[in-house]
Amino acid sequence: MIDRLTLAIVVQSLALLWIGPACEASSLGLTVHAVPLQSDGGQSVRAHFTVIASNPCPPLTGLCTEGVNCTLHKAYFPFSGIKPDSGWCVRQWEQVVPSHYNSTISLNSRTTFHILMKAGPDARANNGKFNHPAYVALPPPIRARENCPHHIQLSVKDLDGDKVRCRFAMEEQGECLDCTPHSFIELYKDACMLTFTGNAPVGQYSIYLMAEDYIPTPKAGQVRESQPISSVPVQLSLSVEQSYSSCTDEPVATGKTPKEHTTFHVLPFEEVKFEAEFISRKEGVSEIAVVGQPGLIKYGFASTGALSQLSMSWVRGENTLTHLFPICFVANSMSLQSEPRCVWLYQREVRILPHGTELICNKTAMTLVLPLGSLSNINLTELQLNSPTCPVTFNDTHLTAHVALEGCGTKTVHAGRELVFTNTLKSVRPYSMITRQPSLILPLACRIPAVQARGPNFNVTVPVTVFFNSDVRLEFHLPGEGPFAEYTYHPQFSPIGLMPGPMRRDSAPVRHIRALQGGPGSRIKELDLHLLSNTTLERAELSVKRCVESASENFAESLIIMENGCTAFNTTKEIRATSNARIFRLDVTNLVENTMYAECEVDLCIPFLPSQTCVTQCNKGLVNRAATIMLSKTFTVRSGPVSLVATTPVPSTSVVTGAAGQNEGPATAPTVEAVTITSSAPEQTSFMAVGITFNIICLYVIIRESFFIFVEK
């Protein structure tokens, strides 16, 4: 009896699940931004898909074979949200598809999209180029409340300046399946604005639209009669929830938030930052949900009392994204949602520089030489760098500028795995001056690749395990030796702060005095401590928490060498290397033992912002550091025995051939035994043992790629 009753309830709830609107949407949104390919006569487009799927977040595997015609954006933090229901995530990919495209795309059995797109080819009469279909910004899943009418304004743009209208997708045209428009949704086609009347039962609904572009006509009203140039699908979701409070209590964006439809123009390697801020008087905001584009960084979410905020940043590195792309966000509280707000980023188009242009980067400066022939009509006296104090000179044929990397207003950004120094040469006019002369904007960039080993692998979705495949090693090498000889032979030192007063020593304690002798058997004066990581994650940095040295293997008595970014000895210097290596030059003349051991605690971390660092800096508050770290994992690494006595050369070990900054005697160069040690293999005993191959890193010039010109009329 009980069994039957239970069964009946199960069947009933199953039936509810099947007939209720809730089962309709595990696909919570879709947009396609199509870019016509000139190369094959517009028969194909590069389609940039953005979809929202309900959790668990489906993988991108099996969509297409990655290559020139397909890019899967495997973000390790896909955009995601917790409202409504069990939450959702954003999946994005780019694929070359026919411009007339009719297909069903399945991410998994629950997330299936039907797509019918007519995207050309249509050559435009005014410039002969292929038409760009409209771009619609995809908002996070929309939430509304029973009996609370609500407007939903879509943000749409058209690169050709066409008029964009939206209409419901038509089932009879094959534009969607099973998609009769809901009676409680009204659509103002010309404005792409939806109105929810409020008269709907609680549940989740899909809205299928087509966005179409029309040649703008002088007379409004004529649009209706003409044919659209292209049609692209847009799918939205609306979840209708129960209403517990008045219809006007939603969170509202403050003036700090960029206005709806704002467009930011971005130069190569430029960083765009903005903040979303909301006031919510009724309920605290639990999330500011974002649907953006790959590479967008969100950080600093805070919700205190009625105020909530989130910062966002994007650095334009090399990318395959569309010239124009949207970022939409909403504030969600327990039962309320703000209006969605969308902003757009426009990647300014750049021209390849004229033949004969040169940009040379060295360790301290970039030097630009630009032939003037190509710059007719540009008023050269108006040209300035970021800082007007750095001179730009020109003669009859060439313009020359010397731009200091530390000065001249040069900025530093992280773009992907590169550190990029940027400056801009541009026309600057007095405000009062109105002129029809074109102006010049010339972004300059010197790029330092981080580890060039191989591309990042973002195949990891769980934040705490992003460093699962990473390791940290500790190695000792003589100055100018080892895998980083490039850096340690002619070292560039970075400043490193001293530990506060009482903890510091000006030299290591002398346990007993040793006579120092030259030649074989002599003491080593300086040693380079290398802390190396093999992470392939973008923007990972190495932060040294603490290093100690001891005469014994069990570290019974140990001496702090470094702590919290500070050094204990004023003789310790840091050598600039790569983001995957921290190298410290230690003066070991005062260590009495013949053999030492070292142990370090090191953090691998990723900063929130591309232009921030999560490396602990001496005497900078820890609070500050906590606010900058997105992810971190601590490693403890120990060396094996390190001999501090130089011995006669042995053929099988390497030989120091004159370390920089040392007064080596001309006689016999010392060698060192038992030095390269990692935490996992303390028995390894050779200077030569190098586990990871790091490429040579230097400031270098990539004329064709690092260098763009943009002439504004």
Ligand X SMILES: *[C@@H]1O[C@H](CO)[C@@H](O)[C@H](O)[C@H]1NC(C)=O
- Output the smallest distance, CB 379 to ligand X, in A: 4
- Partners of 54 in beta bridges: 88
Nearest to ligand X of 536, 564 (CB atom): 536
Task: Report the residue number, 274 or 394, with the smaller CB distance to ligand X.
Answer: 394
From the CB of 315, what's the least distance to ligand X, in Å?
A: 24
Task: Write the single-letter amino acid at 2.
Answer: I
Task: Report the residue number, 249 or 574, with the smaller CB distance to ligand X.
Answer: 574
With respect to ligand X, which residue has the nearer C-beta, 68 or 464? 68
Shortest distance, CB of residue 536 to ligand X, whole angstroms? 5
Cα distances (angstroms) measured from residue 101 to each of 27, 235, 459, 523: 20, 16, 29, 74
Decide whether 266 or 453 has the Cβ nearer to ligand X.
Answer: 453
Count CB atoms within 10 A of the CB of residue 105: 17
As a three-state string, the secondary structure of 603-628 is EEEEECCCCCCCCCCCCCCHHHHHHH
Instruction: Give the shortest CB-300-to-ligand X separation in angstroms.
Output: 29
Q: Rounded to the nearest whole angstrom, what is the least distance from the CB of residue 517 to ligand X in the complex?
A: 24
Nearer to ligand X, 70 or 307 (CB): 70
Q: 329 vs 421, which CB is nearer to ligand X? A: 421
Q: What dihedral do alpha carbons 107, 109, 110, 113 form, nearest 10°?
A: 50
DSSP string, 304-317: ETTEEEEEEEEE--
Is 86 in contact with 55 (CB distance < 8 Å)?
A: yes
Q: Is 74 exposed, middle or buried (0-12, 13-18, 19+ CB in 10 A)?
A: buried
Q: How many CB atoms lie within 10 A of CB 608?
A: 19
Closest residue by Cα to residue 532 from 473, 585, 615, 614 = 473
The amino acid at residue 400 is T
Residue 401 contacts residue 385 (beta carbons within 8 Å): yes
Beta carbon nearer to ligand X, 83 or 114: 114
For residue 663, the minimal CB distance to ligand X (Å) is 16
**Nearest distance from C-beta of residue 571 to ligand X, angstroms:** 6
Q: And the tokens for 499? A: 């530990």
The alpha carbon of 336 is separated from its chain's Cα centroid by a whole number of angstroms, namely: 30
Interacting residues toward ligand X by CB under 6 A: 40, 44, 67-69, 96, 102, 116, 174, 362-365, 367, 369, 379, 381-382, 395-398, 400, 402, 429, 457, 459, 469-471, 506, 534, 536, 570-571
Instruction: Report how far residue 284's alpha carbon sits from residue 299's, in angstroms, rounded to the nearest whole number.
Output: 19
* Sequence-separated (6 or more) residues with CB below 8 Å from residue 144: 150, 196, 198, 238, 239, 240, 241, 337
Least distance from ligand X to the Cβ atom of residue 546, Å: 21
Report the candidate in 546, 679, 540 with the shortest Cα–Cα distance to residue 602. 546
Q: Which of residues 199 and 397 has its CB atom nearest to ligand X in the complex?
A: 397
- Smallest distance from ligand X to CB 713, Å: 16
Find the angle CA(615)-CA(274)-CA(157) to the nearest 5 degrees: 135
Judged by CB, which is closer to ligand X: 497, or 521? 497
CB atoms within 10 A of CB 550: 18
650: number of Cβ within 10 Å: 10
Least Å distance, CB 461 to ligand X, is 8
Taking the CB of residue 242, how many other CB atoms lie within 10 A of it? Answer: 9
Q: At 385, which helix (H) or strand (E)?
A: none
Nearer to ligand X, 237 or 427 (CB): 427
Residue 514 CA to chain centroid, in angstroms? 53
Sign, CA torsion 549/481/582/601: negative
Cβ atoms of residues 134 and 157 within 8 Å = yes
Residue 673 buriedness (CB in 10 A; 0-12 / 13-18 / 19+): middle
Q: How far is the CB of 104 from ligand X (least distance, A)?
A: 8
User: Based on CB atoms, which residue is closest to ligand X, 379 or 412?
Assistant: 379
Minimum CB separation of residue 224 from ligand X in Å reads 23
* Cβ–Cβ under 8 Å, residues 598 and 548: yes
Min dist. Cβ of residue 477 to ligand X (A): 19
Cβ-based nearer residue to ligand X, 348 or 504: 504
